[in-house]
């Protein structure tokens, strides 16, 4: 066999496999997405779609979702399903606010991480040591966290100045900054030029009113990728989620790595909760997580259990959440048009792949959305409020076929069971 044949075989994807996206392809997809968004903004007249305020709000709302998703990624890469992310976020909001209003915001951040990590430790004890079903354990953590924080609030925040049984006193904010030159980008965005103003709005939104904790959260995404995919520690941890029996046979302490992963998972979710209380609102309020732990889990699944894809999913959910909070019915209509165009592209791809039935179904949904956009001048507020959750369902439905979870994710494991 010639050397050329060998190299050709190495370059070819495995049977039934998928080619990995290279950097040029990723940049091309981003450029195409920017062009499409700019086109939709121009057609619909929804100039707030890519404004500095919209993107800045998106980033702030995406961070807690992304941190919860990052926590889910750590746990599930080690083979533990973590439905308890919501409860761990709740613990993070309470402990972050409790410590934050007394000893300062950074102490609140640390205690928020600790609170979430304790929830993760409880989940690890139940699932790893006692082999409790992972879903049952996660639901139990969510219920316990909610009841526990309600109980604690009764005799801590209720007696504090400015607090009540359902909210904490005001927390001192963490330092925020705007990168020099970002104001000029806002001026450029206000001109509403095709593509140029959209890029200026997106870049300006990322660089405006940036909390130091936001910077830390963003750095955790590449840090997670490096630890899990570029270190021997990460290789051992991921092996526990793929084949724990084989990992044990090679000397990996599977219990230890599962414990570490789930505790880190809880700590990251707790950090997301602390971010909500300290940065997003400056106050703890009962129920303020609003299901973001579950949406973070959906972002992780959308991202195929990879940090970069998870970050994109969190950004998408943060964007729809920002639309809701800014009261942008016009923007939601623009998003309806954007989804309709994307569905047309998906239908064309399915026809190219000779998936005729799927293409017809996708085309019908696209036609319905185009009709909705054409005949509707105002979206009901209820639809705007439901936009983040509808987006969650749509994204998971459309991405389900390309997903590949860790092989041993959620499976029970006992030490020595391979002997």
Q: Is the pLDDT of residue 10 over 50?
A: no
Secondary structure, 3-state, 63-77: HHHHHHHHHHHHHHH
**CA angle centred on 95, ends 91 and 96, rounded to 5°:** 110
Give pLDDT, residue 89: 98
Check if the beta carbon of residue 128 is closer than 8 Å to that of residue 262. Answer: yes
Mean pLDDT over 124-135 rounds to 95
Quote the CA–CA distance of 334 and 328 in Å, as a whole number. 10
Q: Is the pLDDT of residue 186 over 90?
A: no
Q: Which residues pair with 86 in a beta bridge?
A: none
Q: Is the pLDDT of residue 267 over 60?
A: yes
Q: Is the pLDDT of residue 19 over 60?
A: no
Mean pLDDT over 76-84 rounds to 96
Q: Structure pTM? A: 0.90
Quote the CA–CA distance of 64 and 178 in Å, as a whole number. 20
Task: Report CA torsion sign: 267, 272, 278, 283.
Answer: negative
Mean pLDDT over 172-186 rounds to 87
Query: Phi and psi at residue 5, in whole multiples of 5°?
Result: -65, -40
Q: Which two tokens stand for residue 344?
A: 């047309």
pLDDT digits (tens, 9 = 90+) for 299-320: 998 888 999 889 988 998 888 8
Mean pLDDT over 206-230 rounds to 94
């Amino acid at each position: 066999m010639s050397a050329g044949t060998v190299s050709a075989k190495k370059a070819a994807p495995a049977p039934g496999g998928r080619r990995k996206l290279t950097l040029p392809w990723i940049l091309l997809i981003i450029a195409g997405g920017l062009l499409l968004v700019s086109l939709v903004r121009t057609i619909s007249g929804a100039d707030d779609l890519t404004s500095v305020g919209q993107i800045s709000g998106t980033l702030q709302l995406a961070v807690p979702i992304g941190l919860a998703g990052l926590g889910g990624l750590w746990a599930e890469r080690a083979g533990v399903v973590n439905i308890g992310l919501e409860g761990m976020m709740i613990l993070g909001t309470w402990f972050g606010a409790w410590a934050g209003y007394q000893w300062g915001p950074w102490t609140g951040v640390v205690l928020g991480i600790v609170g979430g990590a304790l929830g993760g430790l409880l989940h690890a004890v139940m699932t790893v040591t006692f082999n409790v079903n992972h879903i049952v354990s996660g639901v139990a953590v969510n219920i316990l966290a909610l009841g526990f924080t309600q109980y604690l609030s009764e005799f801590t925040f209720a007696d504090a100045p400015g607090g009540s049984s359902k909210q904490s006193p005001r927390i001192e904010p963490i330092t925020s900054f705007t990168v020099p030159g970002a104001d000029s980008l806002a001026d450029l965005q206000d001109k509403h030029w095709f593509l140029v103003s959209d890029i200026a709005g997106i870049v300006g939104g990322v660089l405006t009113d940036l909390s130091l904790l936001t910077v830390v959260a963003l750095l955790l995404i590449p840090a997670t990728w490096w630890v899990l995919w570029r270190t021997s520690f990460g290789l051992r941890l991921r092996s526990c989620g793929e084949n724990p029996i084989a990992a044990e046979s090679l000397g990996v302490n599977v219990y230890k790595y599962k414990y570490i992963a789930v505790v880190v998972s809880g700590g990251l979710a707790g950090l997301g909760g602390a971010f909500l209380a300290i940065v997003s609102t400056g106050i703890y309020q009962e129920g303020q997580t609003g299901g973001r732990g579950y949406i973070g889990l959906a972002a992780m699944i959308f991202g195929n259990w990879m940090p970069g894809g998870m970050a994109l999913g969190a950004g998408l959910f943060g964007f729809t959440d920002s639309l809701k909070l800014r009261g942008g019915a016009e923007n939601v209509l623009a998003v309806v048009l954007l989804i309709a165009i994307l569905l047309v592209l998906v239908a064309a791809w399915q026809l190219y792949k000779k998936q005729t039935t799927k293409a017809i179904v996708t085309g019908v949904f696209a036609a319905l959305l185009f009709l909705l956009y054409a005949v509707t001048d105002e979206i009901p507020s209820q639809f705007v409020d439901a936009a983040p959750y509808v987006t969650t369902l749509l994204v998971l439905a459309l991405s389900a076929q390309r997903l590949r979870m860790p092989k041993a994710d959620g499976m029970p494991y006992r030490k020595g069971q391979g002997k």
